[in-house]
Amino acid sequence: MSSYPLRLPDHVLEEARRAAAEDNVSLNQLLSSLIADGIGHRRAVLALRRRAERGDTAAAVSVLDKVPANVPDPGDTLA
């Protein structure tokens, strides 16, 4: 395991301490968990962007154009 000196504004550190106490975990454990979650979120967003770049909107629209224009069933309406 490695260590890294992290500088935080006082108000952010105080909120982190409060959150750690509420969750009954150490400050280190809370920050490690939040960083890991943030990295996972970032990876997911980047993966979605890569997939979107490969997408073919013309193909998607052509599929939607094949959907018949049926009248909705009774009670099947947007509210």
Question: Residue 5 falls within a domain, yes or no?
Answer: no
The CA–CA distances, whole Å, from 57 to 4, 25, 39, 45, 72 equal 44, 47, 29, 19, 26
Residue-wise pLDDT for 21-78, tens only, equals: 999 999 999 999 999 999 999 999 999 999 999 999 899 899 999 998 888 888 888 8
pLDDT at 78: 81
How much is the pLDDT for 79? 72
48: in domain: yes
Would residue 79 count as lying in a domain? no
Domain region containing 17: 10-64
Distances (CA, A) of 43 to 27, 39, 40: 24, 6, 5
Does any domain span residue 3? no
pTM for this model (two decimals): 0.67
Do residues 33 and 41 make contact, with C-beta atoms less than 8 angstroms apart? no
In this structure, is residue 77 part of a structural domain? no
Predicted pLDDT of residue 22: 98
| Count of domains for the chain | 1
Are the C-beta atoms of 30 and 18 separated by less than 8 Å?
no
Gap between the Cα atoms of 13 and 9, Å rounded: 6
